[in-house]
């Protein structure tokens, strides 16, 4: 990292090439500035008008971003959840430490966590978990949703590693649960073929009251939040086992 | 004015990506480029005046919600790609003992 | 132009100031040398962009960026960067070559310390009994599977000390040069079997 070659790192890319690089980037910057001056002619308003007038009646959620992610463009969200699954499997395969801990233990443990930190983490952990669940469930009424809440719950579980550094987690079990939850998401999204005739939308009909349509939104938010938090937890565990 | 300042951040990220000798620094620069692009999309979505895209009884007009939904997906995907790239960096260090890519290439040329 | 400047509200001013701050933080990340400081700069970069997302009327994106970019990403960076600062040695000789009681002494320790200081690495010596009890034939497997970088053993017939490491590692050449002066120390390099087996 800070090897002896770092003193000559300035000459790896020579000065004339750096000036050429900066000149090319400035040309790009000039082109972008010129095209920004004509933005008023390129901007169109139709999408915004449509969402403002019709989205609440058709989907039943007050948060427009959640209605796009879970009703109008559910196909994109399914593939995003699939990318998380692929990334988790890639990280586990590269690290090759799935169940047993095989690294050497040191005689002097230089990385002991201070006690103040441990006590504070014990205080903060239930609050963070509750906050994460609140954001997941209230995705259709206020800013939030499945992806955001899943990331917060994963951060809360990470605090457990500070409190107890020798915690053993069974990665195989977590990955199996994650795959089952992903299949449940696809099933819940495909129920609408029976009631409404198209795939990947709300399974209540369009003229049902907004409270009934919210059942589908809460269910899907909870499943997606579950899946995202499990996936990020697996990535942490693979990194921690590789790093110590 | 706002999109122009944001595009400078993207260009700084490109400069860092082209002139870095450390593998970890390249991953940092890709993170900067990605954050800059997301900010650029949100700046363009905020072009006409409006309020946040959550409706209640007093909303007059909202900001375009479609770029925001796409950018949430982008953030999650970017973080997972960063995680995989860093795992590969750890493996390269474990194999070769250093992270400067010029030395690794020189070593491969000497061997072959 | 003057009319444009006087029509700006307070929120517009805050937006411009934060964006100029963002440009400076990005320049600092790209031009700095030590990777330990850059991790903290990345966390502050993510925080400033989250504030900018709120000022652009996008609260959902701001929550996602704060949760992912301020807690998860810096933690992963810290783990991968701190891993690269250590040099782990497994001591199987268990005699005067490296003495590891209250203070560290011994010829082998001084040699390894000079070697580690040359590359600015931290030296970490262990004599874990579970790993140390494996026999000689499995040493190569041991280096590949765990995070040990060097194994120190003692040859029973000649009394030489053998230091074993990976052939693909670039640090081994330097170690060979340094041990030429010591006549009872040898360096053995394992040829690797390739990644992805």
* pLDDT tens-place string over residues A9-28: 455 678 888 899 999 999 99
> pLDDT grade, residue C132 (50/70/90)?
low
Computed over every residue of chain A, the mean pLDDT equals: 82
User: For position A38, what pLDDT does the model report?
Assistant: 83
Tell me the DSSP string of A46-64.
HHHHHHHHHHHHHH--SBH
User: For position B106, what pLDDT does the model report?
Assistant: 77
pLDDT over threshold 50, residue B47: yes
Model confidence over C60-105: pLDDT tens digits?
999 999 999 988 898 888 888 877 777 777 766 666 555 555 455 5
Domain borders along chain A are 63-101+112-243
Strand partners, C162: C153, C186
CB within 8 Å: A104 and C147: yes
Which long-range contacts link A50-57 to residues 24+ away (Cβ below 8 Å)?
A51/B53, A51/B62, A51/B64, A51/B65, A51/B66, A52/B55, A52/B59, A52/B61, A52/B62, A56/A210, A56/B55, A57/A206
What was the ipTM of the complex prediction? 0.91
Task: Supply the pTM of this predicted model.
Answer: 0.84
CA distance B43 to B10: 14
Least reliable range by pLDDT among A99-103, A116-120, B69-73: A99-103
CB of C195 less than 8 A from some CB of B:
yes
Sign of the alpha-carbon torsion through B18, B19, B23, B26 = negative
CB within 8 Å: B8 and A56: no
- Top pLDDT among C65 and B100 is at C65
From chain C, the residues in CB contact with B108 under 8 A are none
Contact A150/A185 with Cβ under 8 angstroms? no
Crossing angle of the two packed helices C73-82 and B23-45, in degrees rounded to 10: 170
pLDDT over threshold 70, residue C191: no
Rounded to a whole number of angstroms, the distance from the CA of A99 to the nearest CA of chain B is 18
> pLDDT grade, residue A2 (50/70/90)?
very low
> pLDDT grade, residue C142 (50/70/90)?
low
User: For position C99, what pLDDT does the model report?
Assistant: 58
Report the relative pairing of strands C122-126 and C86-91 from DSSP bridges. Answer: parallel
Domain borders along chain C are 2-82, 92-190
Which residue, A126, A221, A113, A214, is CA-closest to A164? A113
Interface of A with B in 92-151 (CB under 8 A): 94-95, 142-143, 145, 147-148, 151
Contact C75/B82 with Cβ under 8 angstroms? no
Taking the domain B2-50+63-111, which CATH number applies? 1.10.287.3510
CB of A225 less than 8 A from some CB of C:
no
Helices (H), ranges, A60-191: 64-67, 74-95, 115-137, 146-163, 171-190
State mean pLDDT over C181-187.
68
Q: CA A192, A193, A194 angle in degrees (round to 5)?
A: 85
Mean pLDDT is highest, among A210-224, B93-107, C130-144, for A210-224
Mean pLDDT is highest, among B104-108, C17-21, C75-79, for C17-21
From chain A, the residues in CB contact with B22 under 8 A are 1
CB within 8 Å: C63 and A3: no
Tokens at B26, concatenated: 């390249």
CA distance A132 to C24: 33
Environment class of residue A184 by beta-carbon count within 10 Å: exposed (0-12), middle (13-18) or buried (19+)? Answer: middle
> pLDDT grade, residue A103 (50/70/90)?
very low
CA distance C125 to C107: 14
pLDDT over threshold 70, residue B71: yes
Neighbours of chain A (3+ CB pairs under 8 A): B, C
CB of A235 less than 8 A from some CB of B:
yes
Percent of chain B scoring above 70 in pLDDT? 98
Interface of C with A in 107-166 (CB under 8 A): 118-120, 124, 126-128, 131, 145-148
Domain borders along chain B are 2-50+63-111
Computed over every residue of chain B, the mean pLDDT equals: 87
pLDDT over threshold 60, residue A153: yes
User: For position A81, what pLDDT does the model report?
Assistant: 92
CB within 8 Å: A4 and C79: no
CB within 8 Å: B62 and A51: yes
CB within 8 Å: A87 and B7: no
State mean pLDDT over C3-26.
86
Half-sphere exposure of A145 (CA within 13 A, CB side): 25
Backbone angles phi, psi at B69, to 5 degrees: -65, -40
């Amino acid at each position: 990292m800070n090897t002896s070659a770092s003193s000559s790192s300035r000459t790896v890319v020579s000065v004339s090439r750096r000036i050429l690089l900066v000149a090319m980037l400035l040309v790009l910057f000039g082109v972008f500035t010129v095209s920004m001056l004509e933005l008023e002619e390129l901007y169109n308003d139709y999408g915004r008008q449509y969402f403002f007038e019709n989205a609440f009646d058709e989907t039943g959620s007050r948060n427009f971003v959640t209605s796009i992610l879970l009703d109008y463009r559910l196909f994109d969200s399914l593939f995003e959840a699939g990318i998380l699954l692929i990334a988790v499997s890639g990280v586990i395969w590269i690290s090759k430490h799935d169940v047993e801990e095989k690294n050497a233990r040191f005689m002097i443990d230089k990385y002991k966590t201070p006690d103040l930190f441990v006590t504070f983490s014990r205080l903060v952990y239930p609050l963070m978990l509750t906050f994460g669940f609140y954001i997941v469930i209230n995705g259709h009424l206020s800013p939030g949703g499945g992806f955001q809440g899943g990331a917060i719950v994963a951060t809360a579980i990470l605090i457990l590693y500070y409190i107890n550094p020798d915690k053993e987690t069974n990665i195989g079990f977590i990955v199996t649960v994650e795959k089952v939850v992903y299949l449940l998401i696809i099933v819940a999204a495909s129920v609408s073929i029976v009631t409404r005739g198209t795939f990947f939308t709300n399974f209540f009909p369009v003229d049902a009251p907004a409270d009934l349509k919210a059942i589908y939104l809460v269910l899907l938010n909870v499943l997606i939040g579950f899946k995202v938090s499990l996936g990020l937890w697996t990535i942490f565990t693979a990194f921690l086992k590789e790093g110590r | 004015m706002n999109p122009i300042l944001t595009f400078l951040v993207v260009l700084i990220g490109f400069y860092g990506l082209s002139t870095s000798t450390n593998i970890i620094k390249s991953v940092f620069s890709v993170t900067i480029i990605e954050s800059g692009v997301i900010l650029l999309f949100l700046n363009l979505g905020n072009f006409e005046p409006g309020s946040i895209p959550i409706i209640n009884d007093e909303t007059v007009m909202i900001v375009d919600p479609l770029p925001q939904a796409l950018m949430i997906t982008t953030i999650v995907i970017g973080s997972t790609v960063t995680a995989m790239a860093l795992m590969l960096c750890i493996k390269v260090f474990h194999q070769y003992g250093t992270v400067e890519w010029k030395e690794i290439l020189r070593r491969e040329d000497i061997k072959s | 132009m003057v009319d444009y400047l006087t029509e700006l509200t307070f929120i517009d001013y805050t937006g411009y100031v934060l964006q100029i701050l963002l440009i400076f933080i990005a320049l600092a990340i790209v031009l700095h040398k030590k990777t330990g400081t850059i991790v903290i700069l990345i966390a502050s970069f993510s925080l400033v962009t989250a504030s900018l997302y709120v000022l652009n009327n996008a609260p959902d994106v701001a929550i996602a960026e704060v949760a992912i970019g301020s807690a998860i990403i810096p933690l992963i960076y810290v783990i991968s960067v701190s891993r690269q600062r250590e040099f782990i040695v497994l001591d199987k000789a268990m005699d005067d070559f490296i003495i590891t009681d209250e203070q560290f002494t011994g010829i082998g320790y001084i040699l390894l310390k000079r070697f580690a200081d040359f590359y600015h690495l931290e030296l970490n010596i262990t004599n874990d009994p579970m790993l140390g009890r494996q026999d000689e034939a499995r040493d190569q497997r041991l280096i590949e599977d765990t995070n040990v970088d060097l194994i120190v053993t003692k040859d029973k017939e000649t009394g030489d000390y053998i230091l074993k490491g990976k052939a693909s590692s670039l640090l081994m050449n330097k170690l060979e040069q340094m041990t030429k002066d010591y006549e009872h120390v040898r360096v053995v390099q394992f040829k690797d079997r390739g990644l992805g087996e």
